[in-house]
Amino acid sequence: MSTLPTELEGIMTPRVCLDWGGLMKGPEVKESSRSLGDLRGIFRDVAQASAADPARIVYRVQSWNPVNTGVPGGLFWGVTTIEPGKVGDEYFMTHGHFHADRTRAEYYGTVSGEGMLIRMDDERKTWGERMSAGSLHYIEGRHAHRVANTGDTPLIFWACWPSDAGHDYATIKTHGFGSRLMDKNGRPELIPNA
Ligand code: M6P
Ligand code: ZN
């Protein structure tokens, strides 16, 4: 992976461009996706999750990593698009993670759609922050974070995080969040996770 532009003088074209619909373009942009099959274990309704099409995409992530993962002092940029949908009464959502380094914070900024940023501290206290176009969210390094799409259109948000933050998925996989975001009569509600 290149760490520095080869030309250090003169005028260079941008390496990556953001379009204001949210997505990123450029040869250095990496893309990944998570399907219902990948995420089966995170939804409460195991039967509904197993019955659903495992190939159905729940969210896509584009990211630009101008330095290698783990390098101190760098920053990564990401765009996440969560499709609208539910498993039972639970909204489509990201897997969620703590940062491996709990001192490393992150910004999330909503481009379009409606959703909820679900945060949890190290005592499992869990709360939500509404996301809509323009909302900007500063996530302290010690807080786990996950995003749910509560609307009828794709939820697109930008993220910026340190290159040495790392992802701790195992803690979420084992214990989950303290609450789940469920559709209760058409409105999102945080329900304590049994
Ligand atoms: C944001 C950032 C990424 C993260 C992605 C999907 O773009 O926080 O670091 O990978 O969301 O979230 P998750 O890793 O929990 O699936
Ligand atoms: Zn993060």
Is the CB–ligand 1 distance for residue 96 below 6 Å?
yes
The pTM of this model reads: 0.94
Asked whether the predicted pLDDT for residue 8 surpasses 90, the reply is no
* Distance, first Cα to last Cα, the chain: 44
Does some domain include residue 187?
Answer: yes
Does some domain include residue 6?
Answer: no
Number of domains composing the chain: 1
145 C-alpha to ligand 2 centroid (Å): 7
pLDDT on residue 6: 57
Confidence band for 7, pLDDT divided at 50, 70 and 90: low
Does some domain include residue 12?
Answer: no
Does some domain include residue 125?
Answer: yes
Does some domain include residue 10?
Answer: no
| Phi/psi at 144 (5° precision) | -70, 150
Which DSSP string corresponds to 156-167?
EEEEEEETT--E
CA-nearest of 37, 60, 48 to 149 is: 60
pLDDT on residue 194: 79
63 C-alpha to ligand 1 centroid (Å): 9
Does some domain include residue 1?
Answer: no
Does some domain include residue 173?
Answer: yes
Domain range spanning residue 31? 17-192
| pLDDT tens sequence across 154-175 | 999 999 999 999 999 999 999 9
The helix/strand/coil state of 23 is coil
Nearest ligand 1 atom, CA 97: 15
- The Cβ of residue 141 has, within 10 Å, a number of other Cβ atoms equal to 15
Sign of torsion over alpha carbons 156, 42, 162, 25: negative
Question: In the predicted model, what is the mean pLDDT of residues 16-24?
Answer: 94
User: Pocket of ligand 1, candidates 35, 59, 81, 94: which has the most ligand atoms within 8 Å of its Cβ, to mutate?
Assistant: 94
Domain containing residue 118: CATH number: 2.60.120.10
Does some domain include residue 44?
Answer: yes
